[in-house]
Structure 1
């Protein structure tokens, strides 16, 4: 058998010297070793191995190697069959007639001659491999010459057998056991040098694999079925793998191999694998699926109902996913012909998906129970009046929407009717009606005819361009003015003036951006949501008299009192402000409680016009909690060389409304649903309001954490462009509630808060 030699080492251990360059030689002299980089142009750095086997590969490393046109070896002449690996490496096969001597590389730029002689190893030869077909554990015999120099035999895919494992080793013969991991292909003899000589066999070795006469066709097979196949050399099988690469247990009885199809078996090829890792096909499978499936009932279903799905192969169904619901439901009963499933909350009309363990699924249409035969009483109905909606299947109605835009929540509907107050902001005449069900579905029903209200109502409301300021008045025109008995803002009575059909309303200073105005009549009431420009700065004058402070003077002239009534509703952090004119070079204002205990003594500058005291929670508590036993005195003010002309309290009104402050720690994507599923009325929120989440991260500074805001139904993401999550946000996290966000929160059953690595302390809306 012909011997073929190949050099495969990546780095030469023996380096050569070329003329004109300081290259290392192939001897072991440490002084010749160099770490010099490639110098560019056409230059040779190293070549090897040295010594080399005739028939083996000789490698040349340097710069511009692709420009080498031929290489002269002593005894062989010019060699032009050059294998170009890269610009830095070329290779040639050493002819059998090559002799020791200098090697010359030829290029158009000139010749390069090595400074070290090329030398040769003993002529290792591999003449015969026997047998050429083997099985793991068989003894392989290699014959040739100088085989005593071989330290390793390498099978395909780098499966190596060292000389310690040879059963026989001489100059002319090597015997060794075929390893279990061996694969078919050429074998390699290696001398084990640092840069080894490799001698390839001319013929390929065939390693026996387990085999089947015919690959089984398992089309229509079901999980749980046992598959048995006749396998030659079955003792070589180490594992059986499914199409998804999962291993399954198997048994062997003689030449029979058996295994059970797992629940998650998928379409594809089933293989057996010996120790070598080579996959051998056993069978192809097309997994059976449920067929001819129908739902009973298929219509008028609702959460809590039992639906039976009937058909063929129904025992394969592992779960059912209902439309509108993220989580799958497992069957409560199952047989080969039918399964029983309880319909989950949130199910909508659409296709239920019946899934099998293989991950495949089939779809079956179902529809939910819908309202029918809807009628209205009275008809026409008056705006702001009571309305009864009657019909069938009304028990699941959550809200009713008039004219496509005005929605009213429905409380405690029965199967046949529910009542509500018609919104006063609708237009008289025909209005469309949409019912929203508790599962989120909507149903268009008969239109309703509406008439003007019988109580006092606004015929013209302020337009968007009208500015209404907290603390000021505004005017609206009303009808049925004779029925008006009062006006409320955000549930509190306010002052008003009625002049014919013109109603002047006093807006409270604490009115927020979206305030509710109610016209109360003797025969009913109507409410309107009206935008108000809040009065964030509050300034109340609590003393307005000129007092010349003098320690020895009289009360009312040189000292004065301020009473507890002046501090009702004043928040902590407010300021008590004295308007002053200093009357000397050492002005002082002493602020005392009702029992003349000093709270603070102010010493304003001689040119000051104001002097301030911060009303902290402790100061306010002392002001309101100190009792002199005979009056409602809060403060006694005295001092010297200072004239006080006025005193006021001031503060900034926060427009934020706390909607949740229970405190909750989020880790591992848990969820807080306190503001979902009716926990907060998101329909009351107006576009442009700001949602703020006050957060405390639980991770070290710079580490990742995130907040994800979702709607209640299935914890689904809010619609784009709303972000799926906020990574390491600032606190408070501020969200401008645009219309599409509010609409989704209303339709999707509120807000769910999730994410990882933080505590949410409170949530506000401004």
Structure 2
């Protein structure tokens, strides 16, 4: 059986209207020769045109009684004896049903007269009835009517066309056609298949048989097992859908017949109705939802255990379990070799005491018994008084579960050995007198009942004279017993090499040039070899402008500062002596979430030319000051260089808590142009500037900016 078909848009033509219009047309002119005698046979016109086969055709002329025969295409000769009317001025005859289009010839003793225009026909195709009223795709439909011999296409709902290759037989009164697999219930139409077709539609609908559900079994069903669908006309199904948007084609059915389909249920099938799909695409939906079978949990052993140990789970249909999730959202590892009746699961390190949830690929779950995960316990520690960099011994139970040992002051000790009953830990510099906190691998914290005393003979530092530590400049340490200081080690393990004044209450030290930018602590070493940490301070400063010709905005030129460049009106030009050098930009607005604003913008490059550089070989530097701190979600900026947009980036230095700042002072931030998405040549053209669009809103008054400049990549 053929299954290829085309789809067409429905046309609406009335065959009756075509007949009426044709009947009303003027006769067609034929011969118009000069009169050469009263006995000359002449044809003036004939018609009507177009004319229906079986209708009366008229010829008007002179001496037509001498016409002996008329030949109508293709070669149909009508003798004068068969004329309905035959006078000198008029001949009428009935058009044969098998007449075709072409020129008409009148036979006379004086010779043949051929019409100048061909005869044409109105073809009133009609549908009287069709049988059967209900039919399966692939079966033969009989259509009765008239002029069905002219039909080239049968059109089924929905725009499914059966051409002549689907026709079983065809005559004027009857057409037998095979119903395409994609046909749907609805009216049918017949068409002459022309470029501007005549289409006639049936008054009643043809009912196309669809598959029918009777029963689904078993229900509920186990994923991976076979499911039987019973019903009728199921051989029409080309695919079916299961819950979870799973589609199975008929090629993957275990078996298929008119009254039964058997499939293997995919493991990730979810609860839901089954949808049967014939080739027509009309969905047949089951009245009952298919339910996926759940595993049954009978027991979990042991219920009290340590993180990382195994549990044994017994029950039914345990092979359906795809994941095991413990309290805290941590997933265990299902061991290989499990059976439907028993599985083994390794508990995760982060699991907390609580119920266990067993999930299936069907996105269903069952909850098992609650587990009790053992916590470490601290019985004692020794010595009770200790100096930093010495070993402390902790005894107790389940100490193999300990992940960290935290001393007062938030300093983590270094575990050097560990068993179930003993931990030896190195007390790190910065630890303070107080309780010891054991942090288990699942995050549970256990504190000692009493404090450990951290012995030290360290200077008492109360703070700093400066608000931040600027590389190359003096940082003044304030406090008492400062004459105990032998050595200062800056972040990055950089030792101080230059000092200023040193007294019992005041020590001046030059901050090393290469100290890492950001918040950090200075390590102090006393003459007795003891170590400690000074209070946290921000390290950073501004880099010198090494290439003045590569500065593209320092806010010092009139007209190029913010006189013209404050496009969004959210910035202020400052000249109060608090900048890096000269004038600088300071934020002057509160921005809402996702406000898109120009911090500054410039496109008057003919007046103030911009430097031209190769982005692949340059970095961009910006001097920034952030007062206090801004959140990560508030920090969202973009450079526009010669019309090229950078990726979104952050200003300042990120603090340990995720916020961004500069220690309330000026620092230079550097961005590799390629790393922020700008490549190729940057020319003296287009828009230049800085844009902000903070996802969480921004107090822009906290931010000051200066000296936007390029530098060659070192």
TM range (shorter): 0.5 to 0.7
Report the equivalent of 2:397: 392
Alpha-carbon distance in 2 for matches of 1:728, 1:323 = 46
Alpha-carbon displacement from aligned partner over 1:5-45 (angstroms, at most 9, x marks no partner): x994499xxxxxxxxxxxxxx99xxxxxxxxxxxxxxxxxx
Deviation at 1:140, TM superposition (A): 1.2
1:228 aligns with 2:228: yes
Contact 1:323–1:349 (8 Å) recurs in 2 = yes
Deviation at 1:132, TM superposition (A): 0.7
Q: 1:287 aligns with which of 271, 289, 292?
A: 292
SS at match of 2:415: coil
C-alpha change, 1:254 and 1:191, in structure 2 (3 Å) is closer
SS at match of 1:395: helix
1:420 aligns with 2:423: no
SS at match of 1:267: strand
Alpha-carbon displacement from aligned partner over 1:69-96 (angstroms, at most 9, x marks no partner): xxxxxxxxxxxxxxxxxxxxxxxxxxxx
Deviation at 1:177, TM superposition (A): 1.7
Gaps of 5+ in 2: 1-7, 14-24, 27-49, 53-119, 547-614, 618-630, 661-674, 678-714
Report the equivalent of 1:143: 144
Q: 2:312 aligns with which of 292, 308, 311?
A: 308
- Where does 1:152-167 land on structure 2 (aligned, <5 Å)? 152-167=153-168
- Where does 1:151-300 land on structure 2 (aligned, <5 Å)? 151-212=152-213, 214-216=214-216, 218-243=218-243, 244-247=245-248, 248-252=252-256, 255-281=259-285, 284-292=289-297, 295-300=300-305
SS at match of 1:740: coil
- Where does 1:571-650 land on structure 2 (aligned, <5 Å)? none
Q: 1:359 aligns with which of 356, 363, 377?
A: 363
Report the equivalent of 1:411: 415
- Where does 1:510-529 land on structure 2 (aligned, <5 Å)? 510=513, 512=515, 513=517, 514=520, 516-522=522-528, 524-528=530-534
Q: If the length of structure 2 is used for normalisation, what is the TM-score?
A: 0.53
Alpha-carbon distance in 2 for matches of 1:261, 1:349 = 36
Alpha-carbon displacement from aligned partner over 1:120-174 (angstroms, at most 9, x marks no partner): 9644332111111222332211112233333211112122112343222222221
C-alpha change, 1:757 and 1:333, in structure 2 (3 Å) is farther
Alpha-carbon distance in 2 for matches of 1:470, 1:721 = 31
Q: 2:507 aligns with which of 489, 504, 509?
A: 504
Report the equivalent of 2:458: 456
Alpha-carbon displacement from aligned partner over 1:30-74 (angstroms, at most 9, x marks no partner): xxxxxxxxxxxxxxxxxxxxx9x9xxxxxxxxxxxxxxxxxxxxx
Q: If the length of structure 1 is used for normalisation, what is the TM-score?
A: 0.50
C-alpha change, 1:230 and 1:520, in structure 2 (3 Å) is same
Contact 2:223–2:265 (8 Å) recurs in 1 = yes
Alpha-carbon distance in 1 for matches of 2:302, 2:635 = 39
C-alpha root-mean-square deviation of aligned residues, in Å? 5.0
Alpha-carbon distance in 1 for matches of 2:129, 2:311 = 74
Alpha-carbon distance in 2 for matches of 1:379, 1:417 = 15
Q: Say which is worse superposed, 177-186 or 324-333, in terms of deviation.
A: 324-333
Alpha-carbon distance in 2 for matches of 1:719, 1:10 = 66
Alpha-carbon displacement from aligned partner over 1:228-263 (angstroms, at most 9, x marks no partner): 344433443434443333214231478443222222
Gaps of 5+ in 1: 1-5, 12-25, 28-50, 54-118, 539-572, 574-694, 698-717, 744-755, 759-766
